A and B are shown apart, each in its own frame.
Chain A
Amino acid sequence: MTPLTFVLVVIAMAFVAGVLGSLLGLGGGMIVVPALTLLLGIDIRLAIGASIISVIATSSGAAAAYVRDRLANLRVAMFLELGTTAGAITGAWVAGILHPRWLFVLFGLILGYSALAMLKPRPRDVVRHHGETRLAHRLRLQSSYFDDARGEEVVYDPTRPMFGLALMYIAGIVSGLLGIGSGALKVPAMDLAMELPIKVSTATSNFMIGVTAAASAGLYFARGQIAPFVAAPVAIGVLLGAFAGSKLLSRVSSRAIRRTFVVVLVVVSLQMLVRGIRG
């Protein structure tokens, strides 16, 4: 393969990863890392470095829309970013000392978990009042948003911010370690710990992903693991793919796609595991 064909092949693969990532709600990184390593034989550390760059591109693009629509809660995001950035630095640092085989194993496990989690019905908003809200009130996290489906302003009162912060630290570690946005971990964590409405947690998670990824990308760059000729086509392809995917989203039934791809993703996750175990 010449560098030119390589760049074109990677852009095409990353484009497909971006479309699928946005249709499935997984993010492009989850798909582009196995594609680069298993199909093109790229070193997993370079694939992760390239993926984390693409995560910044897509999440900043999506966050721009969410912020404009006032769905993302900027205070919740900034507070939880204390946890996600600290976690991302930890994860990216650990990735530097782990044997690459472990990265394959961990990636396989997280991909398998995320694929199976897609089978569960999407969480619905239920009104619960069991979490303590004192600290959340001191942090002034309560807010409201306009719900299009209900046609009314929804007021919400987040709970247990320290529990949320701890879970975000873990989500940050996974993100920095594997070069993924780990929105699949952030959204349920916010739902579980802080009882945020699902629309708010999705938008806020997307908003945080860019900052989280920048923390680990800085570390990957400074370590010399951002290969421009891998990262550039990945970022271009995933960004265009995610954009195309978001346009398609309203027209295709995502339930049918989810079912089909769960099988594919589980197979891919097993291949990543095998690659890690066999070396």
Chain B
Amino acid sequence: MNDALSRLLRIGVVASMAVVIAGVTLTFFHHPQYVRSTTALRELTDAATIYPHRLAGVIAQIRTGRGQGIVMIGLLMLIATPVARVAFSIVAFAIERDRLYVAITCVVLALLLVSFAIGAAG
């Protein structure tokens, strides 16, 4: 269980960072003005901007080939890595027939999923 868990975490981090780097690079290719213009930075780092915050919005960005959407997918993969670790632990505890810890782990997973719902609700 330990080795598989360790591998899962490492693959999650490496894969998501690779996607993030690819997305950042692509954005600069798509927006050559980002290399010269100083006004573009404002809209990229403004606090008033509502950044893509629904999976559907992120996917729509990727369909139109926007690098920012790819960056976001990479960041979401990173957020999903510990969540996957928890989901994996449920299976591992179930194999050990450890009912108590299957229950505890399910509650932790539920809390993680609830956090997305609370943020989406405002």
Contacts and interface: CB of A to CB of B under 8 A. Distances in A.
Interface of A: 1-4, 6-7, 42-43, 45-46, 53, 56-57, 60-61, 63-65, 67-68, 70, 74-75, 78-79, 81-82, 85-86, 88-89, 92-93, 139-140, 210-211, 213-233, 235-236, 239
B9 A214 contact: no
25 contacts: A1-B38, A2-B38, A3-B31, A3-B34, A3-B41, A6-B45, A43-B47, A56-B79, A67-B2, A68-B3, A74-B2, A74-B5, A78-B101, A78-B108, A88-B115, A89-B114, A89-B115, A210-B82, A215-B112, A218-B79, A219-B118, A222-B115, A223-B53, A233-B24, A235-B20
A218 B20 contact: no
B72 A222 contact: no
A214 B52 contact: no
Interface string B31-62: 10011111011001111011111100000000
For the residues of A in contact with B, the DSSP-based class is helix
A231 to B, nearest CB: 6
B108 A82 contact: yes
Nearest to A139: B100
A225 B72 CA distance: 12
Contacts of A60: 9-10, 12-13, 78, 81-82, 85
A227 B51 contact: yes
B82 A214 contact: yes
Interface string B10-29: 10110011001101100110
Going nearest first, the 10 A-B pairs with the smallest beta carbon separation are: A222-B119, A43-B47, A219-B119, A224-B53, A218-B115, A210-B82, A224-B50, A3-B34, A228-B71, A214-B82
